């Protein structure tokens, strides 16, 4: 029997093993093994796992694949192959579609597919891992279409995802891509990191082109030069920090000292109230 690990236990390898066990228990056997979104704890101490719609299957499967492949790459620990197969099955079920951007199906709108742009980061991370650790042929086909659609949706002058570009693709696509209007940190800013990883893994220059556009436009529009957070960044701290993490990685990769310094100022000024004494930023 495994020893219960207390929340303050500092053994990282045991923590990662627990993360794999968590993922193994988050498939709903009563719903074709659809991954649960999360677990809510009631006031009485009971817990109930639940599903989500807009940030459901695309978000959860992408994040689960990122976790389990990262753990495998870091420690050599593997998840049960049958569990991995279910997460990967659901990942491709939402990505192997027209336009190749991950979709959810809305029962309130005749089960038509829609793209929640907040999900793109998680799915791209999973696809990059499949290229790195598995036979990536299937993932590369999706990535090819994924990048082409992003290029179509990105304004070459502003470097931003554009509702106008979506509208130019026709009224149905404008509805499907309606959340392209999300604040930049919630959509494109979060994509910088995975796009950079994709470029470093595959050498696909489209990925670097998009990472460059999104990093520079998000940093310019969402953050003041003195480090204050602009209204355009919105208030979802996790999206702000994940955007900044990707932007910082990009800045280090291309050797842009000014970008690095600006990110530092944002943490010291804009995020100071959310930061602990040792640098951790509370994200919720």
> What does the pLDDT look like over 76-95, one tens digit per residue?
988 899 999 999 999 999 99
What is residue 9's predicted lDDT score, i.e. its pLDDT? Answer: 55
The arithmetic mean of pLDDT across residues 53-69, rounded, is: 91
CA angle 204, 205, 206 (to 5 degrees): 90
What is residue 45's predicted lDDT score, i.e. its pLDDT? Answer: 86
Left, alpha or beta for 114 (phi > 0: left; psi -120 to 50: alpha)?
A: beta
> What does the pLDDT look like over 115-169, one tens digit per residue?
999 999 999 999 999 999 998 999 999 999 999 999 999 999 999 999 999 999 9
* Percentage of residues of the chain with pLDDT beyond 90: 75
CA distance 229 to 209: 25
Question: Does the structure show a pLDDT above 70 at 5?
Answer: no
Answer with the residue of higher pLDDT: 152 or 274. 152
């Amino acid at each position: 029997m495994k020893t219960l690990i207390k929340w303050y236990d500092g053994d990282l390898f045991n923590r990662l093993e627990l993360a794999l066990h968590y993922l193994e228990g988050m498939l709903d056997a009563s719903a074709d093994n659809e991954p649960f979104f999360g677990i809510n704890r009631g006031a009485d101490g009971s817990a109930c796992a639940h599903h989500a719609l807009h940030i459901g299957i695309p978000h959860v499967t992408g994040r689960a694949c990122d976790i389990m492949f990262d753990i495998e790459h870091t420690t050599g620990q593997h998840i049960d192959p049958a569990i991995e197969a279910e997460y990967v099955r659901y990942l491709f079920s939402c990505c192997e579609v027209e336009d190749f951007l991950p979709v959810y199906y809305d029962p309130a709108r005749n089960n038509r597919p829609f793209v929640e742009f907040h999900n793109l980061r998680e799915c791209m991370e999973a696809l990059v891992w499949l290229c790195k650790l598995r036979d990536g042929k299937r993932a590369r086909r999706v990535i090819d279409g994924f990048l082409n659609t992003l290029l179509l949706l990105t304004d070459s002058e502003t470097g931003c995802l554009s509702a106008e570009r979506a509208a130019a693709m026709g009224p149905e696509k404008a509805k499907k891509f309606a959340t392209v209007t999300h604040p930049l940190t919630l959509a494109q800013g979060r994509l910088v990191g995975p796009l950079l990883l994709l470029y470093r893994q595959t050498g696909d220059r489209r990925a670097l082109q998009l990472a460059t556009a999104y990093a520079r436009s998000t940093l310019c529009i969402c953050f003041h030069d003195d480090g204050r957070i602009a209204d355009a960044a919105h208030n979802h701290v996790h999206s702000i920090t994940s955007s900044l993490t990707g932007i910082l990685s990009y800045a280090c990769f291309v050797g842009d000292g000014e970008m690095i310094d600006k990110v530092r100022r944002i943490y010291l000024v804009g995020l100071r109230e959310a930061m602990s004494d040792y640098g951790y930023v509370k994200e919720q």
